[in-house]
Structure 1
């Protein structure tokens, strides 16, 4: 049975039974856990199901969210970047995930069995981590709420963040440029951006090709504060080279 036929049959089973256990799917179709996961991610992107730990549930009342998978630009590139970045999370680390559609993919592809602490200011990333991980501890930062991004910000958020020691920050941006550094288009979130960069021992920017060499509205930090950039093969080569010349490690997926 090919991939499309299998996914169609899985969808029909879930529509009929309302929910389906992951192990049952694995045994019924003779496929690996990774293949089951990819099939369910595809069905979730289409709005058919919601993935919960160990099972898939029919999405009878679709959650309205700014990060609707069907509306994310450059989703294929972001998924590849997110999958690679998720593998950089080490056992027992503390990580920061700043709100964004690329960092959301990290939460989707992280190893469900891995033990780590994830701190985030995104309600969507929190939701994804809670249903996709078994041993991770997730901390949602409080503070003011931006309904446009589903993120918290402000002095209360900064105060809470200042109490934590963070190994790695995975930072989504609207622009990264060798001269202008890292930028975004949300002026209200500048303080939390700066606090995250300050608290993390390592800053990893995750950005698809459309963000590389781009300068957005608000400055988040200088290029010297970035340790690693993970991007895709469509990123402008000249912009990538200028960023590398500033001492940033660039990983192209």
Structure 2
């Protein structure tokens, strides 16, 4: 299903996006060496509930997972890149962390992810994160009412492959609206000028992600956490955007400093 939101629904999406951006920024600020992944999940739960919102992940049970996800935020560390299930694990100095949060507020969802290093960063890790952030910026820049979906995927892929990374297209961006995951799928590699034409009122969650030396994933015994097949480091950046009459609006930005 592809949803085209009415202006009033886009306005509600702005509020959801602002909440997601604020929670992710707060979680990132609180994380450091010694922080437990279950603590992060507890903080997310409290902030979501205080806002009168719902986590899109608690009851999330797609075909590729094993039962309901059962937590409020994805916490992926080092070689984990997607759907990292919170567990009893403390972050260590130099860990590369990705937090992925999707929230439903007043009937409209928003989804975003951020990768960062706790403590002392390694240059290669910072470069990995920088690539995904620049790919995300390129994707946002490619969104307009005159663009096609392939233009967005191509913009992402140009940055990722240009920096020497191979791209997995099994998981990517997606439509979003009254539910977290909707059509269309937005692969992180594509051909310009192809695919559906974007329309005002369409919400997309754009999410470039890479693994340092592979494009193959393996799944943890928890049935959820996806890791690089080689054990290499990973990074993932994501924003929810709205196609507008004259361009694009990023809905999940963190609060201005």
- How does the TM-score come out when normalised to structure 1? 0.34
Bigger Cα Rg: 1
Higher relative contact order (CA 8 A, sep 6+): 2
- How does the TM-score come out when normalised to structure 2? 0.33
